[in-house]
Structure 1
Amino acid sequence: MKRKNASILKSLLLALLFINCDNNDKSFNYTPEEVATTTQVVVKTDKAKYAPGDAIAFSIDKLSENSIIRYKYLNTILSEQPLTSTNWTWTPPSGDYKGYLVELYKKVDGVEVIVGTVAVDVSSDWTKFPRYGFLSEFGAMSESQITATIDNLKNYHINALQYYDWGNKHHSPLKMNGTSPATNWLDIAGRQMAFSTVKNYIDKAHGINMASMSYNLLYGAWSDYSVDGVSSQWFLYKDQNHSNIDKHDLPDSWQSDILVTNPGNTDWQNYIFEKTNLIYQNLNFDGWHLDQLGDRGNVYDYNGNSVALNETFTPFLQNLKAKFPNKKNMLNAVAQYGQSNILSAPVDVAYTEVWGPRDGYKDLAEIIKENNTLSDNNLNTVLAAYMDYDKANGTGFFNTPGVLLTDAVIFAFGGSHLELGEHMLAKEYFPNNNLQMDGELKKTLPKYYDFLVGYQNLLRDGGTFNNPVLISGDGKVSLNSWPPASFSVSVVGKKVGNKQIVHLINFSNANNLNWRDTNGEQAVPVIKKNLTMNLQNNQTVSKVWYASPDLDGGASKELSFSQVGSYLVFKIPSLQYWGMIVVEYE
């Protein structure tokens, strides 16, 4: 046993010696200050995603002289061309469901410097890699206001939108004036809604390949239900004598409380499906984002039979798909309630609204993994996870470190985060816009979405999570295998084809491990530079590369490496919130 430990120690010492003597790889010499001396450009695409064969139109805010455009799939360079204009086009390879990163770079004193990056998603169907946003304001609005909101979301590559509370009554969302849609109506909170705004948003979103999902409960009626043809026999009751309708209480100033109908009642299904068909006839929504209210406790149908509410979700969704076979559907699993029933039905995205007690970073990963299992690894996950929840009772700014650490965890495990709309999301009532993004978050967050898109074939396209053994070769960081531990960098492993992925998520300076950062107090991680890493390895390696949304806009950097004993040894240039090591095997 002593001999074995001595051998390992010798290997690690050799590894450290190798790394410290290797000064030829200029990627190790990166410092943020160097990049700051070179003019940075903002690169944008014209659409949120692209179909195979589409040409992509790029634009930049200013020309960077002597720069080169480089197109990459993962770490593989596809082509390069000189940057000669603030606008140009590129047609990617013909494959479907691929993410690319486009880098602009120049040589400064012989050193390659990244001056801008942007990602490209080539996917024929948005539900393969959902990046979900929301809209929550539908009053009278100018075309320029609508365009500005959609364009901003496009810059995050948001490829679908939830139209939250756009409708009138839950049991009759589209208000009609005879045989035509009404011009205006009130939502349940008494807010003015405009048909033209909803329609214009849908049209504008479709123009840049962004889908639009109509929001509504799968059950629910207002107190005036009887005037619209809803029967009292379709409700759920808190008693067996149908005298106490199950009800979701809302503020007295609102139009109504929500009375809960029985999703398993086929008469209710037929009724709400026809109301949904009326929506589809007049508004070109791509599908229905169904919501629920979570576990309702003991409930009964009109005849006094106990109803297992979660078990009604599957037949409802099956019948909905049969009614509208060409529309997308997704149902919110509130705190995972009914998720196994939902994901065994024909839905297109796994969607979870995360509530306590699942407030740890580890819980976000567990939920994504649960959804993977329940969907037989066929669906990717969107998490509605509300940041700075208590802080949003007042006004101010989101806490950037809390947001970025949460997104790092969600993205590393293959999920996406419902957080972006006309404003950033802090509450389950989406119109709440008490908190704003500060300048730092506005600058940084787009790079996280570029990273999510550019590397989606590693992050969200299959693979198997594993537990690689990674050791710090220089003692600059404390490493621990996931789940996270205080004062450590967490290591998350995943095998994708012939690649070993190793995510590093930096909790070294975290003052807690709760993702919600409810009072906006999470600390900024200190940047760690030139970190020697020793990865236990017994395979032949062809390449090692590294990318981080915090470093050069996510541009990948090939690393020098050496096999020393049973360890693969390399050095990563910089780690702040999140970095991704990729080891490619022959």
Structure 2
Amino acid sequence: MLKSKIFKMTIFLLCIVFIGVYTKTDTKAEGTAKIVNRVYMDKSRYNPGDSASISIDVSNTMGSDWSGKLNIDIMSNESIVYSTSKTIALGNGASNTITLNWNVPKDDYKGYMVKVYTGSNDFKTSAIDVSSSWTKFPRYGYIPDFDNTISKDDVNKQINSLTQDYYINSYQFYDWMWRHENPIKKSDGVNVDASWQDAFNRNITWSTIQNYINAVHSKNSTAMAYMMAYAARENYSSYGVSPAWGIYKYNNNTLGQINDPFVTGTSIWFFQPSNTNWQNYITNAYKDCINTGGFDGIQMDQIGEMDNVYDSNGNKYDLQNSFSSLVNAAKSKLKSNNPSKSYVDFNLVNGSVGGWAVDDVTDNANGDINFSELWDKASNYNDIKNYVQRLRSNKKGTVLAAYMNYYENLGKRYEAEDASFSGPDVANNHPGYSGTGFLENFAKVGDNVTFNISVDNDMTYALDFQYSSDADKATRTVYVDGNKIGQVNCQPQGGWDKYAFDASISTYLAKGNHTVKISYDSEDSGAINLDCLTLGEFDENSVRLADAAIQASGASHIEMGAGLDGAMMLPSEYYPNKSKVMSPTLREAMKQNNKFITAYENLLFDTDITYGDGGNQYISINNEAVSGDGTSGTIWHMTRMKNDYDILHLINLSSKTNSKWRDSTSTPKLKTNLNVKYYLSDTANISGVYVASPDSNEGLSQQLNYTEGTDNVGHYISFTVPSLQYWDMIYIKRNISTPSNNTYEAEGAIKTNVTTNTNHVGYTGSGFVDGFVNPGSEVTFQANIPQDGNYSLNFKYANCTGGNATRHVYIDGSYAGTINMANLKDWDTWGTSSVTAKLSSGIHTICICYDSSDKNAINLDNLSIN
């Protein structure tokens, strides 16, 4: 029999809330006024006990004077922890910014949602992160440019936007340095030069770097100096680096040091991370970044997999297992220098489960967070989930660098053959072009092509030229509305049938019509075929789905950086690249997303959150295809758990035609009134069901009605999710009691393709699982583990088939071992088979299943854990 339960929120009132009371001058009914425009915080992170400043932009456009209550609720997940109100008055057409202070609790590592409202239809939200360090909940951003044209006001505008709108609490300062082994240029050996040229001949200004660091620190954020972990520039011997420390390869039986050329005359050379001489040299350079530059730590990079490498003596060198030694040396050096400025993280390039260098760094390095760049080895949604689970096994905050739409030329397109041109000719004899053809013979001074374009918004745009070329590098000069804006580089493609779209430059455009001319000027060189001009843009759908996959899995995504419009999105591993921009709707979606992950950081990123099994035994949704592995065309469900919550993520992949997270995709079909049945432990005591989403309701939680029941699968709750656009998080408040003697009964677990019975003696509880006989049959337990440790998982079974039986065991969806269950004398005789596992404290799923390689039938009585 089902028993309906509807629970109200538990409300902790610190003061009385008055809801929207209007004076006689108000001509609108309560709840229809739109007074609150924006809510934002003065810092990205607060230490426990700090005073947080909440700014509220209000305006009155109702046509008459208005006065009333401005109400503020601050929530931790589903519970209100603080409320207050303030009476304000606004004349017709008036605007104001109201500032209120809240002394944040002394509880460390807590996220809060701030709701400001005058009525039920007039509200905005913000988020607060109360954490003594950024490393548990890292929200990494980046700063890519340090030119002297970036004023102090520009810097403050950018960091204000990234703080107030995107909640960034740590920044990677990318390619700020002079040389990789000697980052800060001091021509006289003592004083820092005012500026220098980096490896790509960009101007780097010391005062701009300092302005950014000061602005970041003013927001209680962290400034991380990007550095290659094991690289030095050309002529490195002149700066005290020895080739004896290098990494070498054999080429035609000749041992040569490995290097990577950047541009003509510039290259980087690689060294052994575990070589103590190199470690001492480079960690002193890191220390100079801290002491001279004012940075808070080092973001250590590498270029990825290199095998079959040698030291300078020709001995084989195990590069992939050498990085943890350098990370630990850097951490030790910086900690002894200044413990408060000793943060270190290391980039696992092309990371995946079992990937190159992953195990060494994850298990052995003393970095403060996990950081990893995703490429082809983790190209699917489920790869992300599995990889984040692997990284977070060390209980560190995790950041993924995942470059969206990297291989796609997306945005409004203008074909070169339809433009105005002088010099080139229309052709179609090299395949791979877009439109009806391309322009060839764009090869001499005076040749030019002019596009007439139209833009819908006042904002910065990326002008991406798609071209083909042969063996020579080419450059072209770009003019907008007759004004020269810069030069683009066209890299040699090795053949005229190969097209690239990396000749890119960005510029601010006002709404309306413009001309864009690309010209072969006297300072330009090389021949190209020109295919088209694209106003480069990210695909909003794929970005929002990838962020859902990353963040629901327990990681954050480095994607927001300092740009001309206050903030920009990262399109490439070379962070100054600006070849794609956010549309206004994507920009707003990213604000909502980052607010969401900050407010609900305890349900997304806490270290005590474990992973559920990815099977479909947990969940059914009426008339919807579901998957636990990110299959295209489904609603992807992902279950994670902590002591007081089951956390069910629903990600809408219904419109995806593949499982590639990087690729553009169509808008997911909006799902409404999803009838969900969700199974959980029969020892769970449920006190509330809630849904929250970055896609709706300003991220606020909504309480859901639910019913409880039991069927042949197990104990369940049923509820209706009002809507699913991209990503919903349903969190079920409950506690799971530990049974007597830590023994979990199989008949009370979640059961798939099995039955229960009582027709054999000797069982415990109310019965046992019968019919455990076919591939695909399984029993899943939710177990409450009191503390970290090694545990024996003991399965009580009966087997009288004439031969041994086997079953696979999975913990939190990961394979934990295969158990053998000996043949016993009859079905009334019970035996025990065990597997040992290392478990962290908290709730875990333990699944015993009949895989395709298993054999013979069993009855299963219980699982005991000791």
- Residue of structure 1 equivalent to 2:708: 563
Cross-structure match for 1:446: 591
**1:246-285 superposed matches below 5 A:** 246-252=258-264, 255-285=265-295
Count residues with an aligned counterpart: 545
The 5 A counterparts of 1:57-206 are: 57-63=53-59, 66-84=69-87, 86-107=98-119, 112-113=120-121, 115-140=123-148, 141-154=150-163, 155-178=165-188, 179-206=190-217
The residue aligned with 2:574 is 429
Task: Between the two structures, name the one with larger relative contact order (CA 8 Å, sep ≥ 6).
Answer: 1
Whether 1:309 and 2:319 are equivalent positions in the alignment is yes
Pick the aligned partner of 1:352 from 361, 372, 394: 372
Match of 1:533 among 676, 679, 686: 676
Residue of structure 1 equivalent to 2:250:
239
User: Which of 408, 411, 416 does residue 548 from structure 2 map onto?
Assistant: 408
* TM-score where L is the length of structure 1: 0.89
Compared with structure 1, are the counterparts of its residues 446 and 90 closer, same or farther at alpha carbon in structure 2 (3 Å cutoff)? same
Q: Deviations over 1:487-534 (max 9, x none)?
A: 2111111111121111110111223321112xxx31111222222222
Structure 1 pair 244/37, CA: closer, same or farther in 2 (3 Å)?
farther
Corresponding letter in the other structure for 2:610: T
Identify the structure with the greater strand proportion. Answer: 2
Partner of 2:303: 293
**1:183, distance to aligned residue in structure 2 (A):** 0.7
Is residue 507 of structure 2 the alignment partner of residue 511 of structure 1? no
The aligned amino acid for 1:177 is S
Provide the rounded CA distance (Å) in 2 between the counterparts of 1:290 and 1:128.
19
Report the Cα offset of residue 114 of structure 1: 6.0
Cα distance in 2, alignment partners of residues 410 and 387 from structure 1:
12
Of the candidates 661, 667, 672, which is equivalent to residue 524 of structure 1? 667
- Deviation per residue, 1:168-208 (Å, 9 max, x gap): 11111110032111111111111000011111111110010
- Between stretches 557-566 and 327-336, larger displacement belongs to 557-566
Using the alignment, how far apart are the partners of 2:36 and 2:694 within structure 1?
A: 15
Distance (Å, rounded) in 2 between the aligned partners of 1:118 and 1:223? 48
1:436-472: CA deviations, max 9, x gaps? 1111011111111111111111111022111462222
Could you tell me which residue of structure 2 aligns to residue 419 of structure 1? 559
Residue 46 (structure 1) aligns with: 42
4+ aligned runs moved over 4 Å, structure 1: 35-40, 63-67, 240-243
Q: Does the Cα contact within 8 Å between 2:350 and 2:377 map onto a contact in 1? A: no
Out of 401, 404, 409, the residue aligned to residue 384 of structure 1 is 401
Distance 1:104 1:160, change over 3 A: same
CA apart distance, 1:358: 1.9
SS at match of 2:376: coil
CA contact (8 A) 1:212 1:286 kept: yes
SS in 2 for 1:172: coil
**1:328 equivalent in structure 2:** 343
**Post-superposition offset of 1:345:** 1.5
Q: Which residue of 2 aligns with 1:8?
A: none
Deviation of the 1:104 alpha carbon = 2.3
Counterpart AA for 2:178: N
Contact 1:131 1:160 (C-alpha < 8 Å) held by counterparts: yes
- If each structure's helix is expressed as a fraction of its own residues, which one has the higher value? 1
Distance 2:249 2:32 in 1: 63
Q: Secondary structure at the match of 2:285?
A: helix
Alpha-carbon separation, structure 2, partners of 1:300 and 1:40: 64
- Cα offsets for 1:300-351 (capped at 9, x unmatched): 1111111111222122122222211120111101112312222211100101
Equivalent position of 2:632 in the other structure: 486
Match of 2:240 among 229, 232, 235: 229
Q: Secondary structure at the match of 1:41?
A: strand
How far residue 37 of structure 1 moved from its aligned partner, in angstroms, is 8.6
Instruction: State whether residues 46 and 57 of structure 1, in contact with CA within 8 Å, keep that contact through their aligned partners in structure 2.
Output: yes
Q: CA deviation at 1:243?
A: 4.2
One-letter amino acid of the structure 1 residue matched with residue 605 of structure 2: R
CA shift in 2, pair 1:200/1:429, >3 Å: same
Classify the secondary structure of the residue corresponding to 2:135: helix
TM-score by length of 2: 0.61
Q: List per-residue Cα deviations over 1:26-59 (Å, max 9, x = no partner).
A: xxxxxxxxx9995662211000110001111111
**Cα–Cα, structure 1 residues 62 and 237, in superposed 2: closer, same or farther, change >3 Å?**
same
Counterpart Cα distance in 2 of 1:545 and 1:511: 30
Whether 1:338 and 2:357 are equivalent positions in the alignment is yes
Shift of 1:579: 0.5
Code of the aligned partner of 1:147: N
Query: 1:15-30 counterparts in 2 under 5 A?
Result: none
Aligned partners of 1:242 and 1:304 also within 8 Å? no
Aligned equivalents of 1:420, 1:36: Cα separation in 2: 35
* Ranges in structure 2 where 5+ consecutive residues have no aligned partner: 10-30, 61-67, 89-97, 410-500, 502-533, 563-567, 736-866
Contact 1:525 1:577 in 2 (8 A): yes
Q: Which moved more, 1:385-394 or 1:435-444?
A: 385-394
Aligned residue in 2 for 1:6? none
For residues 94 and 357 of structure 1, the distance between their equivalents in structure 2, rounded to whole angstroms, comes to 42
Distance 1:245 1:425 in 2: 32
**CA contact 2:41–2:53 (8 Å) conserved in 1:** yes
- Structure 1 or 2, whichever has the larger Rg, is 2
Which sits farther off after the overlay, 179-188 or 279-288? Answer: 279-288
**Contact 1:262–1:301 under 8 Å retained in 2:** yes
Deviation at 1:572, TM superposition (A): 1.7
Q: Could you tell me how far 1:433 is from its partner in structure 2?
A: 0.3
* C-alpha distance after superposition, 1:108-151 (max 9, x if no partner): xxxx4462111100001000111101111011121111011111
Mapped contact 2:139–2:168 kept (Cα < 8 A): yes
Name the CA distance, whole Å, in 2 between partners of 1:368 and 1:234.
Answer: 34
Q: Compared with structure 1, are the counterparts of its residues 78 and 351 closer, same or farther at alpha carbon in structure 2 (3 Å cutoff)? A: same
1:544-559 aligned at under 5 Å gives the runs 544-559=689-704
Aligned partners of 2:288 and 2:125: how far apart in 1? Answer: 43
Partner of 2:781: none
3-state secondary structure, aligned to 1:90: strand
Deviation at 1:405, TM superposition (A): 0.4
Work out the percentage of aligned pairs sharing the same amino acid.
33
Aligned counterpart, 1:28: none
Q: Compared with structure 1, are the counterparts of its residues 502 and 234 closer, same or farther at alpha carbon in structure 2 (3 Å cutoff)?
A: same
- Once the two structures are superposed, what CA deviation does each residue of 1:180-237 show, in whole Å capped at 9, x if it has no partner? 1111111111100001111111111001011000111111112211221221212111
Note closer, same or farther for the CA distance 1:435–1:399 as it changes in structure 2 (3 Å cut): same
Give, as a single letter, the amino acid of the residue that structure 2 aligns with 1:250: F
Q: What secondary structure, in the 3-state scheme, does the structure 1 residue paired with 2:249 have? A: coil
The alignment's C-alpha RMSD in Å is 2.3
**Contact between 1:381 and 1:414, CA under 8 Å: does it hold in 2?**
yes
Distance (Å, rounded) in 1 between the aligned partners of 2:693 and 2:686: 21
Deviation digits for residues 359-410 of structure 1 (CA, Å, limit 9, x no counterpart): 111111111111022x2xx212100000011236354211111111010111
Tell me, in whole angstroms, the C-alpha distance in 1 between the residues paired with 2:326 and 2:255. Answer: 25
Q: Is the 8 A contact 2:226 2:300 kept in 1?
A: yes
